[in-house]
Structure 1
Amino acid sequence: MSLIHRYQSNGYNIVLDINSGCIHLVDLVTYEVLPFMEEGLSEQEIVDKLKDQYPEADIRTSVSECEKLKEQGMLFTRDIYENIIDEFTENRQTVVKALCLHIAHDCNLACRYCFAEEGEYHGRRALMSFEVGKKALDFLIANSGSRKNLEVDFFGGEPLMNWQVVKDLVAYGREQEKLHNKKFRFTLTTNGVLLNDEVMEFCNKEMGNVVLSVDGRKEVHDYMRPFRKGAGSYDLIIPKFQKFAESRNQDKYYVRGTFTHHNLDFSKDVLHLADLGFKQISVEPVVAADTEEYAIREEDIPQIMEEYDALAKEMIAREKAGKGFNFFHFMIDLTGGPCVYKRLSGCGSGTEYLAVTPWGDFYPCHQFVGEEQFLMGNVDEGITHPEIRDKFGKCNVYTKEACKDCFARFYCSGGCAANAYHFQKDINGNYGIGCELQRKRVECAIMIKAALAE
């Protein structure tokens, strides 16, 4: 198992110490020295290997400096978690800290790639009642232990199709905060069709984050996100989204898009959104079976890699020119990183995070809704299938074969369990294309940090 990952990007020689997370920008001599050091070669053996390419004194200096970094715990560090992961997961008391409320299993758009099938999730159209939502919040409070900060995401379908219930549940949550010493952070995901001034004003008062769904350029967005009768939605939503983002001071929101086989030049969509004034942007690859005409294919990967590189370089230029923006997939913490559990186990789906259907059923996350074998319980009875929760609780980077020698494992935390299940029928599997793109995004993110630190 490799202890370092080295790569060259945009003129930089970059070395990641995988287990400590330390990043090193090195000269060419050191870049060539490091693999031989990892193999365990002596200084003299390394000199013999490289003396035809570099001066002997430079090689010895590099070896000496790398040895110092090794002694300081910044290079060739060992994985301290692998041997204790079983004990760690067995003894850790997990509490529920977040719910995804499917406030509406209905939608006013007919997006081609929608995993929720126009909001229906393999089932029937339905709106969550206040009573079901109230029981869900009660469940969250009762199962959150001593944790004070809780999160509730209003999701769909399209949540604004059930707006009164959203408002009523926020009011109920605020009442319960005082009674139970809890603090709710409410979030909302919307396609913007029903967005108006009243919704914006309420969200700016009550929502810790809003996700605004838009795919980028007009032709891209309108092709993938039409109304049911075929008309595009771009012209309707963009002015509203721009107003909304400004009303939130370009913070605590993001525009979230999906790119597909039809717009592999997606960096243009990201930059289009930036040119519209948005500062918080996420445009992510579609996850779909390869039988779908819009699915990302293996042969698309080289172009996508080039797009990430081009986007990273343009982001550096814009940041230096004072026109920077955040791109969700290039935002990684290289200083402290998330807590150990999050690094090893990811989003907490099925344990700390649950999805709730309009009729009150619990699933591990929104992407499992409608898959009956993952039905965990309901708001009336609680968790009736703890074995599902336990299985998700044991899912981590060490239970996934594909993660074991992947340099990005502590950044993606093993990837998405739903994607793994849908592609390999195993939550401990992986989605290969997603893994390749994740590795590239981590490399770009590190390179951007390096470039902006100069």
Structure 2
Amino acid sequence: MKNSIYNIFIPAGEDEFVCFNSLSGSSALVDGEVRKMIEDPGEATAGPGDEIRGRMMKLGILVGDTVDERKIFDYKFSLDRYSAKISSFIIYPTYGCNLACPYCYETGLKLPKKRMDEATVEKTIEFIRHTTVSNNSRMIILGFFGGEPLLETETCRTIAEEIFEWAKERSIEYYGTLTTNGTLIDDKTVLDLFPYISSLQVTLDGAEDFHNSKRFYSGGRGTYQDIMTNVGRLKDWDGHISFRVHIFSDLNDVKVLLEDLKRRGFDKNPKFHIYFALAAPSDACLHFIDDEEMVRGSEKASVLLPGARRLAAACGFSTEITDDTISGEYLHSCCGYIKKGVYMIDPHGDIYMCPVFTGDKQYSIGSVHAGSFDERTPFYYKILTKSPLTVAECRDCEYLPLCGGGCPMERYMRDSVPGSVYCGLNKELIGKKIEEHFSRKISARGDD
């Protein structure tokens, strides 16, 4: 037998450790003696007995001498990347927006304020139907993004209603999402579109004053109060509401925001959630930044994000942060977009793999106006078939089953830079989440 290459040890007290196996999702609380046996089972002749070794084998913490864990990872990785039980479509009905946020990623792309015309709407509906059947999917996730999608509410409603009814006739599960700045939600929108929406996401940049300095109308007026009024219209709506809260420098503003949301009664809604993220440069994914800056961002995130989640929990809010990262079911290709069955469709009808690159034609993988809906560009296959096992720094990394080798687009862009490997942000944040998870479990054990 041998030590799994995917074991992670987390200190848990004096001479105590949690051994977490990222491939199996299993964990065990061990002392220093057992840890030594795990790390070198062939040398352990005294101390932990065969019974403990047997338990570690069942958990995948120890494996047989002939087991190739890279092959197991490759199999699971491929299953996730190439299966399409769910077909997801993110529709950009327009690149236009009624706000002038200075950090918007679309600013860097200089996209024209294009809106989806009727012919493209029809082709988009046809593409969704054909692709769902071709993928043999039993569920459709239909999302609206932008730009500001509610500038084209009628386009959203037309597509959503058609796909909702089509899926219902075929017993295909339907789930609709809307990502909006929240300023255009009125009673008519709630009546016409929201019957086809299951989940809403709105972005906040902090408490009112700071938010209004970052997210404002083209004329300069802040949006905070309008967002609160409009989201308040949804008190009787049965869907999920999520605020994506950007953190810029510290948690003081987050605390003020949470207190205001609590005062407004959002903590009483069991379907309300908060998702925290660092505010990123508008072109961070299009022009990757140097490793030193990535490390600085990683260190900042590893402190601020857990702190924000703790503040939210103390105020009674759900942060949508589950233990998926360490559940054993989380293993995937790192990115939920770069896989078969996920498509971004822009106002021109061009198809993309990643929302950050949507609109930059060099990264397009096809078009709803093409002769065949199944036609893909060479770029699609180059990205989709790239395995992290071909990257020396990833192959035997204990975090690989959790991060999947990082962003595939980032790897593609860095291929031309010798010695350039993007890892820090994922590894740091995942490590922090694992530590948080087991710290909570150990604390709960002590309270019993």
Give TM-score scaled by structure 1 length: 0.77
1:63-122 per-position Cα deviation (integer Å, ceiling 9, x unaligned): 6664242132342347766226379849986558111111110111122221122xx943
CA–CA distance in structure 2, aligned partners of residues 10 and 270 of structure 1: 35
Indicate which of 92, 105, 114 corresponds to 1:115. Answer: 105
Q: Distance in 2 between matches of 1:239 and 1:159?
A: 19
Gapped runs of 5+ residues in structure 1?
46-59
The match for 2:402 among 405, 411, 424 is 411
State yes or no: 1:135 paired with 2:123. Answer: yes
Matches within 5 A, 1:76-87: 76-77=62-63, 82-83=70-71, 85=74
**Aligned runs of 1:12-411 on 2, under 5 Å?**
13-26=17-30, 30-31=31-32, 33-35=34-36, 37-40=38-41, 42-43=43-44, 60=47, 66-77=52-63, 82-83=70-71, 85=74, 89=78, 94=83, 97-117=87-107, 121-144=109-132, 145=134, 146-177=136-167, 181-244=171-234, 246-248=235-237, 252-260=240-248, 262-263=249-250, 268=255, 271-272=258-259, 275=262, 277-278=266-267, 279-288=272-281, 289=284, 298-299=295-296, 301-311=298-308, 313-314=310-311, 318=314, 324-332=316-324, 334-335=326-327, 337-338=329-330, 343-344=332-333, 346-349=335-338, 351-381=340-370, 382-411=373-402
CA contact (8 A) 2:139 2:173 kept: yes
Q: Secondary structure at the match of 1:143?
A: helix
Larger CA deviation: 79-88 vs 175-184: 79-88
**3-state secondary structure, aligned to 1:97:** strand
Structure 1 Cα separation of the partners of residues 294 and 327 of structure 2: 34
Task: Pick from 3, 7, 29 the counterpart of residue 4 of structure 1.
Answer: 7
SS of 1:34's partner is: helix
Distance change >3 Å, CA 378–CA 124, structure 1 → 2: same
CA distance in 2, matches of 1:243, 1:194: 11
Whichever residue aligns with residue 158 of structure 1, its letter is: E
Deviation at 1:385, TM superposition (A): 3.5
Paired residues of 1:402 and 1:430 also in contact (CA < 8 A) = no
Q: 1:387, CA displacement in angstroms?
A: 2.2
Matching residue's letter, 1:4: N
Relative distance call for 1:167 and 1:282 in structure 2 (3 A) is same
How far the C-alpha of 1:362 sits from its partner, in A, is 0.9
Unaligned runs of 5+ in 2: none
Q: Distance in 2 between matches of 1:218 and 1:425?
A: 43
SS at match of 2:144: strand
- Aligned AA (1:148): R
1:140 CA displacement: 2.1
Distance change >3 Å, CA 107–CA 123, structure 1 → 2: same
Confirm or deny: 8 A CA contact 1:329 1:441 kept in the other structure.
no
Q: Secondary structure at the match of 1:327?
A: coil
Partner of 1:49: none
Change beyond 3 A, Cα 1:394–1:300: closer
- The answer (yes or no) to whether the contact 2:199–2:240 under 8 Å persists in 1 is yes
Q: CA deviation at 1:19?
A: 1.8
Q: Is the 8 A contact 2:383 2:409 kept in 1?
A: no
Deviates more, 1:148-157 or 1:300-309: 300-309
Report deviation, 1:189.
0.5
Secondary structure of 1:82's match? helix
Q: Describe the SS at the equivalent of 2:159.
A: helix
Matched to 1:3, the amino acid is Y
Contact 2:394 2:405 in 1 (8 A): yes
C-alpha distance in 1 between matches for 2:399 and 2:260: 28
| Change in 2 beyond 3 A, CA 1:155/1:377 | same
- 2:432 matched to 1:432? no
Q: How many angstroms does 1:314 deviate by?
A: 5.0
Instruction: Give 3-state SS (helix, strand or coil) of 1:328's partner.
Output: coil
Q: State the aligned residue count.
A: 420
TM-score normalized with structure 2 length: 0.78
Shift in Å at residue 193 of structure 1?
0.8
Structure with higher RCO (Cα < 8 A, 6+ apart): 2
Shift of 1:233: 1.4
C-alpha deviation, 1:386, in angstroms: 3.9
